[in-house]
Structure 1
Amino acid sequence: METQRILEFPHKNMDKRPRKRPRLTWDMPPPLPPPKVLPAIYCGQEFGNGGISNFSFPNNMFYRGIPHNASPPWRPDDKDGHYVFAVGESLTPRYRILSKMGEGTFGQVLECFDNEKQEVVAIKIVRSINKYREAAMIEIDVLQRLARHDIGGARCVQIRNWFDYRNHICIVFERLGPSLYDFLRKNSYRSFPIDLVRELARQILESVAFMHDLRLIHTDLKPENILLVSSEYIKVPDYKFFSPSTKEGSYFKNLPKSSAIKLIDFGSTTFEHQDHSYVVSTRHYRAPEVILGLGWNYPCDLWSVGCILVELCTGEALFQTHENLEHLAMMERVLGSLPQHMVVRADRRAEKYFRRGTRLDWPDGATSRESLKAVWKLPRLPNLIMQHVDHSAGDLIDLLQGLLRYDPVERLKAREALRHPFFTRDHRRFGYPL
């Protein structure tokens, strides 16, 4: 089988419904004219050992004429408080910018070269707005806690360093591979084989159990926040696409060479004892107790895991929706009716989704014909899984029904899920190294 680095796969059938939080983007804004120079404020400290690699870059990787290790010209932030940069410049004398990796509501992620450790790292540059700066300091606290307990750094992304640079909190991470979402997207949303899903699911649940043992709730689990450790992939025949009309490139699909993954993005992570905000989780992965305003805790993470596993098996998000009533209607279509004891306790803000206080106001309350079609096309969960899974379907369906129980009290806990027959039964394996 062919082994390559993952660069770009043909993709189509993009998600038609936007998710609540912006996806990663790969554009780079043009730099603004530099008015003056200010020194860097550097106040970080080291975490972990950070291995030294032999990775090096040719001189033409950087803009010529920029003094090595010099601070770049000062520029005002953009209108949203994002740091404005140019490839080849430095963040403090230690880090040189190689490329932009992504962008989100928090700020940007840049790929940089660490001149001291001689390795490539990812640096999260937080917007220069107080609420994001405060959230970044909480995330650093969480990351330090995780690093102290995650021996070997196998579960969560490892913090290397942090510093405050021109009013931007900068968090330095180990450089990982693409997210599970990006891998699916660039692979034309083709699903993963069930044996690979099993290995990914085991690691996700182990990471969630690890966090819950530390009294931490992630609150934003989704494929975008689960990264493959390696960017390498293998190309294999895709027998589902074999037909006389199939284009040559569709005969094959790509699979990760290694199934090793890590959780990222702890900006929304909450300690159990902290006050809990009213709404958490990106829309597609939001648990029913959050939508109904019933309060939330550790089980909201397990609901998200259930949604993620369905997406890995089918290639598409289980609940591709953009508003609460439609979301609840989709849940009932796939999983059956909401329990009455949860409906009658719904928050005042959620009462409008029900008729006479007990029955979901659907389809009467639908906002459009497209919304009706989006709900009615959904099959029941067992039928959906059996359409895509060739073996182990029964065990997987039973696991998902435990993770996607409406009542958070009855929902499987992470360590309970790891003891499920889907993981413990003697399954046929095709070799996905951890």
Structure 2
Amino acid sequence: MVVDPPPKRRASGFRRVRTVHDLQPRVEGNSAARRVTSDGIYLSPLRQLTTNLVETYHICNPQFRYESAHNPRRVLTKPSKPAHNDGYDNEDYDYVLYVNDWLGTEEGHKYLILDILGQGTFGQVVKCQNMKTHEIVAVKVVKNKPAYFNQSMMEVTILELLNKNFDPTDEHHILRLQDSFIHRNHLCLVFELLSSNLYELIKQNQFQGLSTQLVKVFMAQLLDALTVLKDARLIHCDLKPENILLKSRSPQIKIIDFGSACHERQTVYTYIQSRFYRSPEVLLGMSYTASIDMWSLGCIAVELFLGLPLFPGTSEYNQLTRIIEMLGMPPLSMLNTGKQVGQFFDSYEVWNAHTSQNERKYKMKSMEQYSREHGTNEQPGKQYFKATTLQDIINTAPIPQVKSSRCSGNEVEKEMANRAAFIDFCQGLLNLNPVTRWTPQQARMHPFITGEKFTKPFVVCHLAVSYRHY
């Protein structure tokens, strides 16, 4: 006799799953066992153990108390040993910054320190949260020294002028200054938070260089910004890839670091511009104008395309040597007026039969002579390119698609046409003579920027406000 087994009993609390709907969680929102907020909302276990964790701990242990001051304080400044300013500054007069510390005051704006973004001779830049708007921003904390304080106050003045009077709608790729205040004797400047700089972009690309199309996109934006600066009669004085930042992950960029900027009528400093991007007139000790920014722009344009700096000088002498080897001697008008010319050149007189008078000529000092006279040990420096002319360096740069054999003859022809326009564009920016070097307004008319077909060298008429493409 066969007896059917008794039906299996389900454990208490379990229910049979028949459909997908039975797998959905059922939350009893008004369970009597749950806490209720002041608004009468029942708290789920997830919220009780996350956003309401402090209250949960307090219920478990009435003696528990939480204070934000107990948060971990990871030090961000190096060195971090207190030395000045009642222990708030280190030996370099940098403010010693900690994660979860505050900048600002209760009465004014307060900024919660999140992380370090960078450090330089001027001070530090930290990532912060504006506790009033909850926006993530970048705060420059300037060194506690009068020279840096005064220069940074000039940066505040210049950015306020640009932001309010010349670019009020934030259209011209210039950094926005949001706030400024004093915190324990340190001037703090609050900026919009941007992404990585163009040097980092080149580095991420293994220093292989960017396409002419992407270089064009960047150059058009930089020329737009420099046009605004020229209208405001301002000189940036330190244009380089590190001072051009991307907005998020888009090809939109902004010029930053106006700490060295000045008005055209107040060009008091002689040691300006980072060496690789330093103009011939600054190297020679001449008075300078906004055209020095255009020289820097030409150096940046070539570096973006090649992936390596065009003039990586190891010293001012080496920098000038590299420029002259590629572009030739500066005009006599520059050599006759530069205050530093005697450091780099020997001068001598030559009789001119046509004018019946002596003419001054210049010859660059040899590396050995310069080293002997200045007590240095000059070296030739590393050569990044086999070619010696700007045209050959650009034209012989590899085309990425050709390496993978996917580039047709038409594409190569199109690329070389783009390069021809690019070479002509760069030559206008890297003009040794600042008087005839293109202005931002003139460079914006070049076919490389406008997209017009390039057939012959672009010629600018300097005597009239008109531009012609011959």
Q: Same fold (TM over 0.5)?
A: yes
Aligned counterparts, 1:335-354, within 5 A:
335-347=327-339, 349-354=340-345
Amino acid of the residue matched to residue 239 of structure 2? L
Give a deviation string over 1:348-372, Cα, whole Å, max 9, x none.
x331211335011135447568516
Give yes or no for contact 1:161–1:172 (8 Å, CA) kept in 2: yes
Q: 1:81 aligns with which of 86, 90, 93?
A: 93
Which structure is richer in relative contact order (CA contacts within 8 A, separation 6 or more)? 1
Q: Which protein is bigger by CA-based radius of gyration?
A: 2
Partner of 1:205: 223
Structure 1 stretches of 5 or more lacking a match? Answer: 1-56, 233-257, 429-434
Q: Does 1:409 align with 2:425?
A: no
**Residues 129 and 58 from structure 1, CA distance in 2 versus in 1: closer, same or farther, beyond 3 angstroms?**
farther
Task: Give SS of 2:68's match.
Answer: coil
Q: Give the distance between the partners of 2:51 and 2:287, measured in 1 at CA.
A: 53
Aligned length: 341
Give a deviation string over 1:32-84, Cα, whole Å, max 9, x none.
xxxxxxxxxxxxxxxxxxxxxxxxx9999xxx953399x99974311111010
Runs of 4+ in 1 over 3 A off after TM superposition: 57-60, 64-69, 71-75, 362-370, 372-378
Give yes or no for contact 2:239–2:297 (8 Å, CA) kept in 1: yes
Partner of 1:326: 318
Q: Does 1:359 align with 2:377?
A: no
Amino acid of the residue matched to residue 353 of structure 1? F
Q: 1:66 aligns with which of 59, 65, 68?
A: 68
Aligned counterparts, 1:266-305, within 5 A:
266-305=258-297
Q: Give the distance between the partners of 2:169 and 2:381, measured in 1 at CA.
A: 48
Task: Give SS of 1:356's match.
Answer: strand
**Residues 419 and 331 from structure 1, CA distance in 2 versus in 1: closer, same or farther, beyond 3 angstroms?**
same
Aligned counterparts, 1:24-39, within 5 A:
none
Q: Does 1:150 align with 2:154?
A: no
Amino acid of the residue matched to residue 130 of structure 1? P
**Residues 356 and 134 from structure 1, CA distance in 2 versus in 1: closer, same or farther, beyond 3 angstroms?**
same
Structure 2 stretches of 5 or more lacking a match? Answer: 1-49, 54-65, 76-81, 349-361, 372-376, 400-414, 455-470
Q: Give the distance between the partners of 1:59 and 1:207, measured in 2 at CA.
A: 48
How big is the alpha-carbon RMSD for the aligned residues of Structure 1 and Structure 2?
2.8
Give yes or no for contact 1:112–1:120 (8 Å, CA) kept in 2: yes
Task: Give SS of 1:108's match.
Answer: strand
TM-score by length of 1: 0.73
How many Å apart are 1:288 and its aligned residue? 0.3
Partner of 2:257: 265
Q: Does 1:421 align with 2:447?
A: yes
Q: Percent identity?
A: 34
Aligned counterparts, 1:5-404, within 5 A:
66-67=68-69, 75-92=87-104, 93=106, 94-148=110-164, 149-154=166-171, 155-230=173-248, 232=249, 258-347=250-339, 349-356=340-347, 358-365=362-369, 370-371=379-380, 374=383, 379-388=388-397, 390-391=415-416, 392-404=418-430
Amino acid of the residue matched to residue 359 of structure 1? K
**Residues 278 and 89 from structure 1, CA distance in 2 versus in 1: closer, same or farther, beyond 3 angstroms?**
same
Give yes or no for contact 1:333–1:376 (8 Å, CA) kept in 2: no
How many Å apart are 1:327 and its aligned residue? 1.0
Amino acid of the residue matched to residue 437 of structure 2? R
Q: Give the distance between the partners of 2:67 and 2:341, measured in 1 at CA.
A: 59
Give yes or no for contact 2:267–2:287 (8 Å, CA) kept in 1: no
Give yes or no for contact 2:236–2:262 (8 Å, CA) kept in 1: yes
Q: Give the distance between the partners of 2:293 and 2:188, measured in 1 at CA.
A: 27
